[in-house]
Structure 1
Amino acid sequence: MADDNLDLLEKQIETLEKRIFGDADKDSSYPKIVDTLAGLKHQFVNAVANTKKAGPVLNRMGELNDYLDPDFAEPLMTTREAKIESILAEEDHIHQTAKYLENIKDLADVLGSEHIKVVPELEGKLQELSKIHLEQQITMLSKQLVQWDEIVTRLELQSQSSEAED
């Protein structure tokens, strides 16, 4: 087991070295890389030293990484029974989602058909048709309002003439 872990670690190091050095001679490049990394560390420390908020954050980096780990909160949140209960509470929703996914799978041929693929090309025509339809509705509404106005005017005139006769 330990030998397997050591072999795995050595392979990872070899892969990393290959990515860093490529075909270059790594023995001659190591000092340059170490010097570069040391210089970068020095620049980073100087940059952080000038800010008041960065230092405390960097000091708590390990703690922050623990909090960001998805496995960190799981034991704190629920017991096994609570997890089972939660899943069972969502059972109907899970079955409904599975049914919808099956429907999508069944309709995959239709969704991938040529008719659906040309929809983006027809978007401009659809917008033009929508504009024409809206203009027609406005025209029809205007005509209807004019007719209602004529009817109301006629009824008002009739009402005034009948009042004048009385």
Structure 2
Amino acid sequence: MAATGLDLVEKRLENIEKRVFGLADKDNVYPKVIDTLAGVNQKLNAAVKGRPKIENVMRKVDVLNKLVDSEYEDEITQSVDTKMELILTEEGRLRQEATELELVKELSHLLSSEHVRAVPSMENQLQSLCKLHITQQDKTAELSDGLEGVFSHYNSAIALLSKQFVLWDKLVTELEMAAQPKKGLD
């Protein structure tokens, strides 16, 4: 069945809507875009009117878009064998990407879960938790510095006590040696 003029216009309109709106909700954005596009269209028509070269270029925009498209260049420069060889050399990577895409498809329901949708509403709580965490990190650093000072004093005191005990041990040993009766002088 041949496409009627109306079908062609509708298809062209759908293509334009895809380019303009992308993934956005077109029902909310549509009135603003239509007003803007109407204004731009009027300005373009006024600028082009009476300039035959520009009018000719405007009529050939679709052809120009096709010529500028890099896929069109590949289409006219590569043979079927070349394309097949290219696909076969990339077969492993393509299979891996297909597997990964299947995994993404299987796990996509997780992205629309209640927990993920609730993330924006938790932003304030997350910020307050981050502030609390930073405060606690600062306090921990202060306590660590203080504890390091205490350990330093403790180690110094133990070292001094150890030296003192060594000195006392040496003195006691000398006194004990001096107090022992001397044998062999009788």
TM-score between the two structures when normalised by the length of structure 2: 0.46
Give the aligned partner of residue 73 of structure 2.
72
Alignment of 1:111-122 (within 5 A): 111-114=115-118, 116-122=119-125
Distance 1:117 1:73 in 2: 44
Equivalent residue for 2:113? 109
CA distance 1:67–1:21, shift in 2 (3 Å)? closer
- 1:130 equivalent to 2:150? Answer no
Q: Deviations over 1:63-93 (max 9, x none)?
A: xx85752332465595313313413334234
Residue identity matched to 2:133: S
The answer as to 2:87 corresponding to 1:83 is yes
Identity of aligned residues (%): 8
For residue 108 of structure 1, report the CA deviation from its aligned partner. Answer: 1.8
Q: Partner residue of 2:143?
A: 140
- CA change 1:141–1:87 in 2 (3 A) is same
- Per-residue CA deviation, residues 100-141 of structure 1 (Å, 9 max, x unaligned), is 342231452234544x23122324312321222212321331
Aligned mates of 2:139, 2:109 — CA distance in 1: 40
Q: Find the aligned partners of 2:146 and 2:101 in 1 and give their Cα distance.
A: 49
For structure 1, the residue ranges without an aligned partner over 5 or more in a row are 23-29, 42-64
Higher relative contact order (CA 8 A, sep 6+): 1
Q: In 1, distance between residues paired with 2:154 and 2:74?
A: 73
Stretches (4+) displaced over 6 A: none
Alignment map for 1:12-91 (pairs within 5 Å)? 20=41, 33-35=48-50, 37=51, 69-73=70-74, 75-76=77-78, 78-91=82-95
Larger Rg: 2
Any conservation in 2 of the 1:67–1:73 contact (CA below 8 Å)?
A: no
- Corresponding residue for residue 155 of structure 1: 158
2:92 aligned counterpart, secondary structure: helix
Structure 1 residue 99: Cα displacement: 1.2
* TM-score, normalization by structure 1: 0.50
The number of equivalent residue pairs is: 126
* Residue 128 to residue 162, structure 1, CA distance change in 2 (3 Å): same
Q: Which amino acid aligns with 2:93?
A: A
Aligned-residue CA RMSD (Å)? 4.4
One-letter amino acid of the counterpart of residue 94, structure 1: A
Tell me if the contact between 1:66 and 1:72 (Cα under 8 Å) persists in the aligned partners: yes
